[in-house]
Structure formats: structure tokens, C-alpha cells
Structure 1
Amino acid sequence: DARFRFDSVRREKGFFLHSGRGEQGRFEAGQQVACRVDRDFRMATARNHTATHLLHHALRRVLGQHAKQSGSHVSAERLRFDFSNPTELGPDQLREVEDIVNAKILENDPVIGTQMSLSEAREAGAIALFGETYGDIVRVLSIGDYSRELCGGTHCESTGQVGLFRITHESSVAGGVRRIEAVTGLGVLERLRRREEQIGHVCRVLRTQEQDLERRAGELLGEIRALEREVQQERQRVAQQLASGSLLDQAEQIGDVRLILAVLGGRHAELRSAADVLRKDNERVACALASTHSGKVALVTAVSGDLVARGLSALRMATAAAAILDGGGGGRDDLAQAGGADPSRLEEAFDEVRRLVRENFGGDAATNRA
């Protein structure tokens, strides 16, 4: 037994060429073969194809006659329809389009294909795809009295066979061209089942019932935000304790300036808390405090008020360090912050801060522990 599965068809020079792949056995010239259509596959494809014509009609009703087809793709699993429109469709517009398509499905209108000349088709008002080449004789696909397009593909016999239509995604594919993706028939049922399984899993994880899921999610979100605030407050408290104690003990003496260069835990908020304590509670103090997280650097620089008056700038320190760290910064002369994408150069950034302080106050560039 030899078996060959066709998976695509194209038209060339008036002929329909079918292509595919051999699944078993070997074919010989002169053999008789029997061709069978996979009915389930064919009907699934037909549902999605007929749905594109209904979708085209619905889009022109909702958006206007400018909403013309720019391309499409139909398979047994889903459909994709590109159309001209300058802006994104909002939720209300998508719902209206979906409702129109499903209403036409419920009306079970006949889907009729008619062979006629291209000139007759145009006189009948059939819509042709821009850029497509047609022969002298074309097939006009009519649905009720509202859709008439040139089309040679497989279709349902009536709109009711589409079953159900559900939009899954809307997006932009080019300037002035939007795309809608959708499923029909059993594809809608399968999508519904997957969603129900997801909801059931979330309910089990959160230990609640489906009708209480939204309320439970809101409660948990509130708890998470409260815990995040508590963690941030605790980090700031620890940072402030470090700033008032051990960080000062680590200060380097450059001239009469105490310079603190340290890597701490936390993010910008915690670093600012420590820097605030250092600059407000002490004189002749400058600092550059950093942390690393997920391959990024957070940096805060600060200068006590008396040193700002003498010309030292936290903003200049931050921007100079950020340039080395492949980032940027901003702020004021007394307090600034920066970010960077290269943690491996953090020591170089600290060295640049040292250089700036020495430039202002170091004299002979000597550096000692306080």
C-alpha cells in the first residue's frame, strides 16, 4: 500500500497543481489510485474561509467602506484577515464586529458559488482582491444579499455551518493595515475548554471558587503591595542604619573630604535613603552608593551642603560614573542618581568618582582611610 498526503494547492497557467508528501510505500507509473477528501479537515477549513467573508462584511459595516481586504490566511485551525484601517480597533468595535458575524451565522444564509465572466462579476458588484490576477471566467461567492466576492476556495453551504466565531487577536502589520485573528466552530469550543481549565487551575491555586476569583485576586494583590511596602521600608531602615554607622567607618579621606564608595543591597530607593542620611547629618561628606540587580547597576551619589558650596557636584559624579557603566543619570548638585548596563565596570566608575573628588580637594592625590 502506498499513501500520499496532499497539503497545498496552487494555480499556475490555468492548472491547479496539488503538492504534498509520501507517507508510506512507493508509487509507480501506471498505478490506479483512489483520492479521498479528509472531510473533518475540509469542513474546518471551509468554516474559517466562509468566516473571512462574513468578517469582511462586518468590518465594512462597523468601520466604513475603506476597510478593504489586504490579505488573508485560512487553515483548519484558525483564520487571519488583514484589512485597511488607520487605527486600532477598540474593545467595543471588536465586540460589534464579532456580534455581526455571529448574527449572520445564526441566520443560516445560503453560500452560493456562481461561474461568470469577469465583466459580469464586476457589473454585479463583486469585490475583487487588489493586486490579484483573474481569468476571463471567475467564481463569485455570494452570501445572502450582503456579501459578493471573487473567490475560488472551499466554503460552507450555509453560514450556519460556521457554528461560532470568536476573535482572538487584533494587531498592526503595516502602516494603515490591521490584522484580525479568529477561530470558528470546534476551534471556539477548544479555546473555551482551555480557558476553563486555566480558570480551574487558578482557582485551585488560590483556593477559591470561580465566582469569587476576581475578589480573591484583588485581596491577594493588596496583600502583595502591602508586603512590598513593608520590605522597602525595612530596606530603607537598614540602609539608614548603615549610613549612620558602618558606612562612615569605611570612608576614604581625600583632603578634608570623607568619600564613601560602597555596594549595598536594594534599589534606588534604598540607596537614596542611605545617601540622604550621609549628606544631611554630616559635613565634608561625599558618597557614591551602588547596587546590582539582573545585570543592571543602580547608583546614587550625594554631597553634603558645605561641599556643594565649595563646588563639588553629585550630578557631575553621577553622570561621569554612568558614562562608564553604559547608562545615564540625572539629579541635583546635592543628590543624583544613575543607572547602567555594565556591572563589570563598577570599580572603574568608583575610580572616576575618586578622581573628581581629588580634582577638587585632593591636592597630591593621596587617599587614606578616615
Structure 2
Amino acid sequence: MDRVVIMEEEGFNKTLDKGLALLEDELLAVENTPKKELKGETVFKLYDTFGFPIDIINDIAEKRGISVDEEGFTAFMAQQKQRAKAAWKGAAGDTLAARFQSLLEEGTRSEFVGYNSLGTESRIVVLMDEKAENVESLAVGQKGYLVTSKTPFYGESGGQSGDHGVITADSGNATVLDTMKPNAELTVHHIEVSEGSIRNEQAVNMQVSEEVRLASARNHTCTHLLHAALRRVLGDHVKQSGSLVTPDRLRFDFTHISALTPKEIKEIELDVNAAIMANIPLDVAEMEYEKAVEKGAMALFGEKYTDKVRVVAIADNSVELCGGTHLSATGQAGSFFILSDGGVAAGIRRIEAATGFNALNLSLANREELHSIAGLVKGKAGDVANRVKGLQQENRSLRKDMEQLAAKAASSQGGDLMSNVTDIDGVKVLAARVDVPNVKALRDIMDDLRSKLGSGIACLATADSEGKVTLLVAVTKDLNDKFKAGQLIGQIAGEVGGKGGGRPDMAQAGGNNADGINAAFEKLKALVKG
């Protein structure tokens, strides 16, 4: 683990050096200007290209008496988010995004009523096909997009995925495959008609999937608890750098330069689960932005906030500005389980975790796997580690015994193989095929042969059950002026369908044609004969 931490820090330092060089150039360019402001585009490049933590940029600029163009940075971040939303554009591509924009310009709006209710009566105000073209109706099996005057469906935003559910009308039903939020005032539902037809401007009943919403809420509330736990365990330098909340799991990016240790991961999991077991009620309120910040609410750098914001507080654990959907109390999360911790950029870590039934299912699967391993090693689940250690020791001991036996066999084979020595123009040449368990055993035999030959050239070959060939050529040093093992093996390796090379005294080749071994031997003898 220490090695992993060192590697993480070395990687961070290399990227940091590149980013610092760019930052220094930009600071020098603006420090003598009247405005003394670091451009938002530069800040975004440092953040996006180099994975440069925003906090470091702010701290360095502040020490030089230079401000940071937060509005410019926010604008570039918004553009990046729009590009990221390309994933839900589907085949319609830019056409769909352009259509959403035109809806806003036309004054189309939809009221979100889903914080306190999962269902509502509403009316379709826009109905489109998959190509984003207005239609009067969609029939069974057809997919499209619709906007209603009000909706309980939460549209993908703030890192939280969109709701799923059903929409019913007198003429038919539709499944909501996804919900998008191109703008704070516009929610678009991606649907597939499952029965009958859906018509524009008709009254509909909208019902969000409680299972999907609750699963997302578990992960979103636990994202806030995780953020707070990270700051308590790792330090106040931890700040959110991104997040993703889906029904299946949560992903949280944060500023920290090294990999988490097993001890830290355990502390974080215990911290979050303690808050879950305390069943703390969530306090959600809307208030003025300035008042929320005074209250201690954490605002994310680069995010745009309106004058009035939504504050989600979990007692003394967490106070954050958030527009997402949450649990009413932490106990509804059930449990929290960290799946992984990894680096995504210089100084940026990523944790993936599961909650509720997903966390429970993972724990059950891990227990089942542990019992399976215990059965394989003929031990008990609680003593698997010790049993594996014992088997490893047994394996090392057996391997040592096998190596000793192989060495004895090599010595024995070496003596037997000496009968294959032929004299070619005064040079002793030995070429033989042997059956050995591995390349090391082949080398051991070759070492024994070189000792017995005194002066000469030896070539050994072996092939495994799949026909993979290994060739060794050795030339005693007194003959290296005339013959070099690396050159010889390079010329004969083609016979076994391979290539090779090495030193003047020892060389190795591999191939896949065991039928060519004898031809390789004959070619070697021909090369020695000249």
C-alpha cells in the first residue's frame, strides 16, 4: 500500500509540475495588468486538461494578489456539461439539443412538483418523435419525447440520473425510459409507448417509480454523508470535484493526493454507517444564497446558483446546497459499502459505493464467495486467511523440492546427452531434444552440458503440449571469436517458426512449430561446418 501511495504522489507531482509551469506563465502575463485577473479559460484548462485542483489555483493566485475569473470558469464548465449531455442525445444528435433550446425560446416551461409527491395529473404540451420533430401522436412501440405542464419526474442534473416511471392516458400508456433537464425550467421525458397511443395536448397521469427514486435518494443522501466523512477522516482539504448518483451506485470525486489506506476506508465506512443507524432526519429548506452560506452550506466552485437556493442539512453532519432528491431520514439508506477508491487526475480521487439493497446484495455475494473459497482450501470462513498462508507455504516448499528434483534430473540428463556429441571440423557439437517442465530446467541442463563439454556448441530444444517450442544455444567462450550464440539462434529459429537472440555465449528463441526442431538442429550443424 505504501508503494501505491508513493506512485500516486509521484504521478501527482509530475502533473503538478506541468500545471504549475502553465499557471506561472499566465500569472506573469496578468500580474502587471490593471485588472490582475486569471482568465476563466486558463483556470478551466488547468482543471480539465491537467486535472489541476481548483483550490490550488485559487491559493497560488491569491498569494500573488491576482483574482480568479470565476464567472468565466463557470461558463466553460457549463459548456463541458452540455457536451457531456451528448450521451442522452441519442441518434437525434445536435438536433435534439437544438430543439430543446427552441422550446425554451418559445416559452415552453414545466413545473417540477416531485420533491413531495411521486405522482400528479398533468397535460402534454409538446410531443416529439425520436428525431425531435413535433407529432400529434405516438403509437405502440414508438419512442419519443414529451413535455408536460408539470411533472413529478426528476430530470438528470446535479450529477443525479433522471427518474423512470409510467405515464397513463385515456388512449394508452407509456414507459418513461429517462428524464432530462436541459434547463432549470424545462423537463423532458424520453418515452416508449407500451399500450394504445399517446396524443399531444391530452391529459395524463404521471407516476414515478418509487423503487428507482428511493434507490437514487439513498445514494444521493449517502453522497452527502460520504463528503462529510471524508473531511472528518482525511481533513478539511477534501472538496467535491464531481459526482454521479444512479439507482445502482454512487460515484464521488474529491481532492486528495494519495490512495486511501484500508484503515481510512474502514473509518469512512463506519462514519457513514453510524450516521445511517442514527436515523437522522433531513432538514430541507429554501433560502437566500447568502443566508445559506452564512449557515455553513457548502457551495461548489464552478456551479451557478440562483439568489434562492435549496439547502439540505443532516444535523451536524452535513449542510450542502443541493437540488436533488433525498431521503426523509438517514436510516432509510439501510447501509453503505465502498466498492473502490482510485485516482482519476492529479490530486483527484474517486470513490464508488453502494447503499441499501445493493450494498446488502454485495455483502451477501462476498460472504458466499468467502464460503466458496473456504470450501476450496478445506478451511472455515473465519480462518481462510491463515489457511491460504499455510497453502502458500506448502506451495513454496513443494516448488523448492521440485526445483531440486529438476536439478538432479538435469544433471542426469546432461550426462546421458553427452552421447549425442558429434565432431564437426574439430568443434564438438551437441544437439538434442529434451522433455522438461519449464525453461529454468532447460537452462539447468544447458549449464551442466557446458561444464561437461569444456569446449563446444550445444543446442537444446523442448516443446510443450500445445507445440510451443523453446530453443537454447550455448557457445563456450573459447569459440566466441568464430561462433556467437545470438547469431546462430537467429539463423535457426525460423525452422521452428520463431525468432530469437541473446549473448555470444548463450541465446534463446521461441517458436510454434515443434515439427521443425530436427531441421533446426541440422541447420546449426551446417552453419558450424560452414
Code of the aligned partner of 2:475: V
- Report the CA distance shift for 1:84/1:251 in structure 2 as closer, same or farther (over 3 A): farther
Q: CA deviation at 1:317?
A: 6.2
- In structure 1, distance between residues paired with 2:468 and 2:257: 38
Q: Is the 8 A contact 2:488 2:524 kept in 1?
A: no
| CA shift in 2, pair 1:91/1:207, >3 Å | closer
Report whether the alignment pairs 1:170 with 2:333: no
2:192 maps to 1:22: yes
Whether 2:328 is the aligned partner of 1:143: answer no
The alpha-carbon distance between structure 1 residues 7 and 133, as it changes in their structure 2 partners (threshold 3 A), is farther
Task: Check if 1:13 corresponds to 2:183.
Answer: yes
- Are residues 304 and 328 of structure 1, via their aligned partners in 2, closer, same or farther at CA, if it must alter by over 3 Å? closer
Deviations 1:97-117 (A, max 9, x none): 222212222333332222233
Counterparts of 1:158 and 1:112 in 2: how far apart (Å)? 9
| Cα displacement (A) at 1:235 | 3.8
Q: Does residue 109 of structure 1 match 2:280?
A: yes
**1:269 aligns to 2:440 (yes or no):** yes
Match of 2:80 in 1: none
For residues 101 and 12 of structure 1, what CA distance do their matches in structure 2 show? 33
The separation in 2 between residues aligned to 1:263 and 1:138, in whole angstroms, is: 80
Residue 36 of structure 1 and its aligned partner are, at CA, apart by 1.9
Q: Distance in 2 between matches of 1:148 and 1:328?
A: 66
Provide the rounded CA distance (Å) in 1 between the counterparts of 2:360 and 2:390: 32
Query: CA 1:122–1:210 in 2, change beyond 3 Å: closer, same or farther?
Result: closer
C-alpha distance in structure 1 between counterparts of 2:467 and 2:343, whole Å: 32
Contact 2:299 2:321 in 1 (8 A): yes
| CA–CA distance in structure 2, aligned partners of residues 148 and 255 of structure 1 | 90
Letter in structure 1 aligned against 2:316: D
Give 1:253 deviation, angstroms: 4.6
Q: 2:211 aligns with which of 22, 27, 40?
A: 40
SS of the residue 2:253 aligns to: strand
Give the TM-score normalised by structure 1. 0.79
CA offsets, 1:119-154, max 9 Å, x none?
443444422333333334322222213422221111
1:70 to 234, 241, 248: 241
Following superposition of structure 1 onto structure 2, how do residues 317-328 of structure 1 map, counting pairs within 5 Å? none
Q: 1:320 to 1:91 in 2, by over 3 A?
A: farther
Residue 427 of structure 2 is aligned to residue 257 of structure 1 = yes
Relative to structure 1, the CA distance from residue 56 to residue 270 in structure 2 (aligned partners, 3 Å threshold; closer, same or farther) is: same
Residues in 2 aligned to 1:72 and 1:261: alpha-carbon distance in whole angstroms: 65
Partner of 2:326: 155
Aligned to 1:302: 474
Q: What is the TM-score when the length of structure 2 is the normalising length?
A: 0.58
How far residue 297 of structure 1 moved from its aligned partner, in angstroms, is 6.4
Q: For the Cα contact (< 8 Å) 2:493–2:520, is it kept in 1?
A: no
Checking the alignment, whether the CA contact within 8 Å between 2:486 and 2:501 is kept in structure 1 is: no
Secondary structure of the 1:55 match is helix
Aligned residue pairs total 354
How much has 1:17 moved relative to structure 2? 1.9
Alpha-carbon distance in structure 1 between the residues aligned to 2:317 and 2:254? 18
- Do the aligned partners of 1:107 and 1:159 also contact (CA within 8 Å) in 2? yes
Letter aligned with residue 17 of structure 1: T
Instruction: Quote the Cα distance in structure 2 between the aligned partners of 1:19 and 1:87.
Output: 41
Task: Give me the whole-angstrom Cα distance separating, in 1, the residues matched to 2:281 and 2:351.
Answer: 24
CA contact (8 A) 1:322 1:328 kept: no
Change over 3 Å in CA distance of 1:278–1:10 after alignment to 2: same
Alpha-carbon distance in structure 2 between the residues aligned to 1:181 and 1:222 = 35
Deviations 1:246-297 (A, max 9, x none): 3x45456543223344554433311121111111112322224354668976
**Equivalent residue for 1:4?**
174
Corresponding letter in the other structure for 1:105: I
RMSD across aligned C-alpha pairs, in angstroms? 3.7
How far is 1:23 from its partner?
Answer: 5.5
Q: Equivalent residue for 1:97?
A: 268
Show the 5 A alignment for 1:102-251: 102-246=273-417, 248-251=418-421
Bigger Cα displacement from structure 2, 288-297 vs 278-287: 288-297
Provide structure 1 residue ranges, at least 5 long, that are not aligned to the other structure: 366-370
Distance (Å, rounded) in 2 between the aligned partners of 1:94 and 1:204 = 29
Counterpart-to-counterpart distance in 2, 1:235 and 1:55:
56
> Which one is further off, 255-264 or 291-300?
291-300
CA shift in 2, pair 1:327/1:306, >3 Å: closer
Q: 1:43 to 1:252 in 2, by over 3 A?
A: farther
Residue 51 of structure 2: aligned partner: none
Decide whether the 8 Å contact of 1:278 with 1:285 is kept in 2.
no
- Structure 1, 106-115 or 51-60: larger mean CA deviation: 106-115
Structure 1 residue 90, shift from structure 2 partner: 0.9
Q: Are the equivalent residues in 1 in contact too, given 2:225–2:317 (CA < 8 A)?
A: no
| C-alpha deviation, 1:312, in angstroms | 5.2
CA–CA distance in structure 1, aligned partners of residues 174 and 507 of structure 2 = 67
Indicate if the aligned counterparts of 1:271 and 1:299 stay in contact, CA closer than 8 A: no
Q: Contact 1:268 / 1:299 at 8 angstroms: preserved in 2?
A: no
**For structure 1, which segment, 278-287 or 48-57, has the greater mean C-alpha deviation from structure 2 after superposition?**
278-287
Deviation at 1:300, TM superposition (A): 4.1
Once the two structures are TM-superposed, the CA of residue 177 in structure 1 deviates from its matched residue by 1.4
Task: Give the gaps of 5 or more residues in structure 2.
Answer: 1-170
Q: Match of 2:63? A: none
Q: Distance in 1 between matches of 2:399 and 2:467?
A: 22
Q: 1 CA distance for matches of 2:369 and 2:456?
A: 56
Measure the CA separation in 1 of the matches of 2:294 and 2:467: 65
- State the alpha-carbon separation in 2 of the partners of residues 55 and 12 from structure 1: 28
User: Once the 2 structures are TM-superposed, how far is the Cα of residue 200 of structure 1 from its aligned partner?
Assistant: 2.6
Q: After TM superposition, give the deviation of residue 9 of structure 1 in Å.
A: 2.9
- Spell out, residue by residue over 1:283-316, the C-alpha distance to the aligned partner (whole angstroms, 9 max, x if none): 32222435466897655443336446x6755577
SS state at 1:192 partner: helix
